[in-house]
Amino acid sequence: MKLAILGSSPIALEAALRFHSHGSSLTWFNFEEVEYESYFQKYLSADAYTSETGLQVLKEMGKTYQSSAFDFKNWKNHYYLPLTEFLKVEQKVRTHPVVSLSKRYLAPSEEIAGKSRFFDLFRIIFQVNPQEFIKEQESSNPETFERLSQELVESLQTNLEMYEDFDLVLDLRRAIEAKSLSVTGRALGEGKVSKDHLKYSFVALKTAQALNQEPQDVRELALVGSGPLASEILLSLGDWIKDQRSRIFVVSTEAWPFAAFLEEGEKTAVKKLKDLFYYMDQEFEKEVNEFHQKLREWQELDDFVQAKKPKPVEPIPRLVYFSGHNATAVDQLIDKRRLFLTLEKPDFREGHKQSDNNALELKTIGVDRILVATNLQKPSIDIHLSVSEIGFYQLEVCLPLVSGAWFKDLEKLKGIENEIFKLFSPAGAH
């Protein structure tokens, strides 16, 4: 069984270790990805991202990994990297980016008479920096290097494409990109506004963390999404949100934004989020009570006094929800200081949180920044496979602030193992 594993995630390492122990011939395409674990390490248990298999291999190598509390640098230096070096000796570990994934000969919709599409191998095309090959020859095989002409060396200045064929492919990359603030995949004007004001995915999280430390002139934000990443962004803005000058608009397709995360999130993150919601609710309730008191006092005034004294203005919450909404367009003034986000609520979608905001089908809000934390996807690879391709498996990696994220990933991997074993008979079986 020849297997390809895509991605540098912790579960990709675990899969490589497991299938190595099963006797597979594997190539691990361990190309660089965003390492977001350090952002969430406060939610991870001491045994996160480890397994009995990994710890046993470390022991056989004469190494150990111990931790009373999860620390990303400690885990990477004493667990991930040593085991990666072990696999480099035992199997193929390529740091080259994958360009495309397809069948070797079959078109995506093509069938073979009397056979499954699994009969044909998968072909992975990847990029190779030729300078790596040249340096390798210079140090390990100087005689071959000397025979390389200067013209040939100079011609190898751009990445080359190579391919390798496999029986099975496991795509275990992280979903780290948010390509649009609209759930439909595209918002009007999105490509034209300043990217200094519109931030996506983990860049949005970094922006939130920076704003919390140095608010600058940003006083109004729109947060698009209400899943795990949006929850962490909201928590990262804790001090910024509590500043009376700040206001944040949460745009979500969910009827009850953050409800799913409050059910499935890690308990520490859930408690912090509930505390933040409680703080904002109490603040608004106090403002409403004060408003009603002032309104009653104003209404008791004589008419000629009322004419001279402004009527009290009803307060607006500083945590505003547009539930059941789509973000459909974005625009920016010439001075590029503010973004204007257009929202729509379709009739078929419910919006229960602050339902008063649902009176208008179309509305526009002005903000200083937009942070997008929805539609997380894996980085794009040119994939040409059938919709349900036998032998191609994908695993959606849980964000670490989901309750039991690592163990859920392990269970998903176990399910993939079971499916793969159905495709092959043990050696010597009849």
Residue pLDDT, tens place only, 99-139: 999 999 999 999 999 999 999 999 999 988 877 666 666 66
Sheet containing strand 369-372, edge to edge, reads 198-200, 369-372, 220-224, 247-252, 319-323
For domain 2-175+378-423, the CATH class is: alpha beta
What integer pLDDT is reported at residue 428 of this predicted model?
A: 44
User: Which among 236, 230, 181 is positioned nearest to 211, based on CA atoms?
Assistant: 236
pLDDT digits (tens, 9 = 90+) for 322-352: 999 999 999 998 777 899 999 999 989 999 9
Q: pTM of the prediction?
A: 0.87
Cα–Cα dist 221/338, whole Å? 10
Measure the CA–CA gap between 408 and 13, rounded to whole angstroms.
16
Q: Where does the pLDDT of residue 362 fall: very low under 50, low under 70, confident under 90, or very high at 90 and above?
A: confident
Task: Give me the residues paired with residue 124 across strands.
Answer: 101, 164
pLDDT score for 425: 58
What is the distance between the alpha carbons of residues 324 and 358, in angstroms, rounded to a whole number?
A: 9
310-342 burial by CB neighbour count: b if 16+ within 10 A, else e?
Answer: eebeeeebbbbbbbbbbbbbbbbeeeeeebbbb
Superfamily of domain 178-376: FAD/NAD(P)-binding domain (3.50.50.60)
Does the structure show a pLDDT above 60 at 319? yes
How many Cα atoms are found within 13 Å in the side-chain-facing hemisphere of 238? 12
Q: Are 14 and 51 in contact (CB under 8 A)?
A: yes
Residue 159 has pLDDT above 60, yes or no: yes
Beta sheet of 382-384, edge-to-edge order: 160-166, 122-128, 98-103, 382-384
Q: What is the pLDDT of residue 205?
A: 95
How crowded is residue 151: how many other Cβ atoms within 10 Å of its Cβ? 7
* Segment among 135-149, 311-325, 408-422 with least mean pLDDT: 135-149
Domain layout of the chain by residue ranges? 2-175+378-423, 178-376
Q: What is the C-alpha to C-alpha distance for residues 80 and 151, in angstroms, rounded to an integer? A: 40
Tell me how far apart the alpha carbons of residues 84 and 54 are, in angstroms, rounded to a whole number.
10
Burial class (CB in 10 A: 0-12, 13-18, 19+), 299: exposed
Which of 317, 182, 325, 205 lies closest to 256 in space, CA to CA?
325
Band of pLDDT at residue 429, cut at 50, 70 and 90: very low
pLDDT at residue number 147:
65
Domains 2-175+378-423 and 178-376 share a fold: yes
